[in-house]
Structure 1
Amino acid sequence: MRMTRRGLLATGSLAAAPLAGPALAQGAWPDRPVRVLVGFAAGGPTDTLARRAAQGYSELLGQPFVVENRPGAAGNLATEAVVRAPADGHTLLVANSGQVVINPHTYDRLAFDPMRDLAPVSAMTTGPFLFCANAQLGVATHAALLDWLRRQPDTVKYASTGAGGITHVVTEMWRARTGVRVEPVHYRGTAAALPDVLANRAPLFFDGVQMLGQHVRTGALRPMLVTSPTRSAVMPEVPTAAEAGLPDFTPQSWFGLYAPRGTPRPIVDRLAEVNRRVMGAPAMRERFAAENTETIPSSPEELASLGQRYFDMFGEAVRAMDIRADA
């Protein structure tokens, strides 16, 4: 099980109409293809989500929604491209939460402010982190991993999907809670990190079940814990963080759809309605549920509120541990 969308999005109605019926009535927007920017490499969770959603948006609105990957700087390159784009609804951002609510805390000289310069459109998905270790380490439980790491401080690497990004911060939160001394290796997204995780060069990794589950099933990775309050329906054998000795360690990974600040409200509202229909469709919900991920289409206000809560929470953690993007 996962944190429910009612728990994550504290207010408002989240009912979603099924993806059925004709395309939405055509107006002035969109009148040409829409670019959907992703701040990480193709094949990762943000990219996968964007491509699934873009297909549905295209079907409903009658224009191509073209996904463009701009990996680098924990998603900042893509975020800035959207911030600088015309606010006409033809350039959008599918972002993981870290791009919007963590990067402003970990990057000292951002030329933009995601919380100020992006228009929230709608939340998309949420899910817990799965923490895995390469099977070659020979440890089967979180307790055994901690014991092994404490015997060899500063020699083991962990993978992150970008310096100062969400997996970097979540792993540092875990490191602070456990007291182990491990070093980060930063990559441009999950797809770029996985080869080194699987090759045992950076054998520790926090990411989603969607990306790591298949490697657990093959035996290449061993699951240590999942950051949901209760066990996963997809991987019920994996203990929760609380069961593994880390009570109240429940950070969630969520994704949202954003537009440039100043995008006309009618376009934002139409996009939010399209996202509700696409992400709320039964087939889409079931597809993500099989990956321990929940679809949470929302209003713009609900996404803004969610972002502010996580901005405050992660900001406190970043300051307490002095996490920097150039660490």
Structure 2
Amino acid sequence: MDAGDPRAWPAGRVSRRDKRPGCKMMNRRNMLGLPLAIGAAVGLPAPARAQGVYPDRPIRLLIGFAAGGPTDIVGRRFADRLGAVLGQPVVVENRSGASGAIASVEVARARPDGYTLMLATSSSHAIYATLAVRPGFDPVADYAAVALIGVVPMVLGAHPAFAADLPEALGKIRASRGEIALATSGNGGIAHFAAELLLHQAGGLRANLVHYRGGGPAVQDAIAGHVPLVVETFATTLEHHRAGRLRILAAFAERRSAAAPDVPTAIEQGVPDMLANTYNALLAPAGTPAPVIAKLAEATAKVAAEPEFQAFLRSVSVEPTPDSTPARTAEFIRSERAKWEPIIRATGLRIE
């Protein structure tokens, strides 16, 4: 093999100059430019132009809860419709754990290019972010808000034999002096603090709060009569209410739900300012370019305006928010955290 042949050079050796007649030196700059020249010659796109108009590849949508739960159900239907509008698949990835904090941290640290998104909830961005000493993310500063998909009111459910309405249930709680059990889906979750808010707004009542590992077991024990009362979402209680296995005594919302117009609100029944909900908000990492946020917001608005999508949300007890904007979403997340912070602080609970 000729010594002038580059294949004969030892590893790492670079020829300073090829002195053969008519041969020009090929330096690093020439070599880096070669693919561009070849691409131009054969009509291929140059690397700098390889990324087309956003989005030009699949988008990840992180869900901070297990598959099959309320947020996952909404997230998958939304991802399917959003992908259809954008012309690229939106792939749901479940990152369950720590009330949605695991997904929240991953998105906060992701490249801000619009290809990693999440559905935030009150559990992650209002409750956990306040409870945790070191949550690992800032619920406002670390994200670019896109849109609020929907709001899910919390409710008070009861075993049918316990009470016919909210005033009767509150009267029994008051008379028991803290002995009556009130179930929630977990210590430190939205259901826990909705229960705390109800007791506070009803006149500083006390109850025996029983925290389960999930809304399903809490509701099942209320149906079985092991606990008389449970605070959960509309989505996890409505089917049982319709079947007569559980009675929803009050919705913690401003107005009655279209999915259950027979259920009065707590405000109607004399508990002032009793508003508690969870929500699904589409967020991207902070620093995501404004045109990308605008594209996502526009696409989400198209999905939110679809009558079929609105009907789906209402079928799972989610109130659609078709008039959402990035600015309104950011303000909503800030206001929700501000509402829950004093309630959380008053309990003295902290997560190390």
Cα distance, 1:234 vs structure 2:
3.0
Cα distance, 1:166 vs structure 2:
2.1
Structure 1: distance between partners of 2:227 and 2:72:
22
1:264 aligns with 2:289: yes
Cα distance, 1:245 vs structure 2:
2.8
TM-score by length of 1: 0.81
Partner of 1:287: 312
Partner of 2:326: 300
Residue 176 of structure 1: which of 176, 192, 200 is its match? 200
1:94 aligns with 2:119: yes
Structure 1: distance between partners of 2:220 and 2:64:
19
Partner of 2:79: 54
CA RMSD between the two structures: 2.6
Which whole-Å deviations, capped at 9, do the CAs of 1:254-310 have from their partners, x for residues lacking one? 321011112222221111111111112121122223444332142211111112222
Conserved 8 A contact 2:152-2:319? yes
Partner of 2:343: 317
Cα distance, 1:225 vs structure 2:
0.6
TM-score by length of 2: 0.76
Larger Rg: 2
Residue identity in the other structure for 1:169 = F
Residue 146 of structure 2: which of 113, 117, 121 is its match? 121
Conserved 8 A contact 2:166-2:266? no
Q: Which runs of 5+ in 1 are unaligned?
A: 1-25
- Equivalent residues in 2 for 1:65-84 (5 A)? 65-84=90-109
Relative contact order, CA 8 A, sep 6+: which one is greater? 1
Pair 1:163–1:117, CA change in 2 (3 A): farther
Partner of 1:132: 157
Structure 1: distance between partners of 2:241 and 2:328:
34
Query: How many pairs align?
Result: 298
Partner of 1:146: 170
Residue 234 of structure 1: which of 259, 265, 278 is its match? 259
Partner of 2:41: none
Structure 1: distance between partners of 2:172 and 2:315:
33
1:40 aligns with 2:72: no
Structure 2: distance between partners of 1:280 and 1:124:
11
Structure 1: distance between partners of 2:166 and 2:302:
40
Which whole-Å deviations, capped at 9, do the CAs of 1:209-263 have from their partners, x for residues lacking one? 2331111011221111112233333323222212333122123433210111122
Pair 1:36–1:250, CA change in 2 (3 A): same
Could you list the structure 1 runs, at least 4 aligned residues long, displaced by more than 6 angstroms after superposition. Answer: none
Conserved 8 A contact 2:61-2:118? yes
